[in-house]
Amino acid sequence: MNKKYPYLVLDEEQLAKMPFEKVRKTIYRAGRGPDGLGEFQKALLCDMNDGWVKASIDYVDLDHPHRKYYIQELNYRKLLKRKETINKINDSTDNI
């Protein structure tokens, strides 16, 4: 258990052993909205929009165990978009 962040379900050792595809479907952010008065909700990292992931990077402490995964998520999404673009180009050139 992480003494500074006792609410984290998995410790760093467990997360480090997982493939990132599983990590992004395991860790989440939770809260009651921007004003703190809304209904308590959880969102998996894979379901958060880019703005929320970026805001999470800025919000959490630099030593927060999940911060590196938030950064990795943004890089993962960029890589997926590049792959999609390459696939579209390849598909369009196949018809030539």
pLDDT in tens, 41-50: 999 999 999 9
Q: Which residue has the tokens 């958060």?
A: 48
Query: How many residues are listed for the chain in this entry?
Result: 96
With a threshold of 0.85, does the pTM exceed it?
A: no
Give pLDDT tens digits for 52-69. Answer: 999 999 999 999 999 999
Cα separations in angstroms, 48 against 1, 51, 54, 94 = 25, 8, 10, 35
Where do the structural domains in the chain lie, given as residue ranges? 21-88
Parts of the chain with a pLDDT under 70: 1, 95-96
Distance CA 63, CA 32 (A): 23
Using CB atoms within 10 Å of the CB of residue 42, give its burial: 0 to 12 exposed, 13 to 18 middle, 19+ buried: exposed
The pLDDT of residue 3: 77
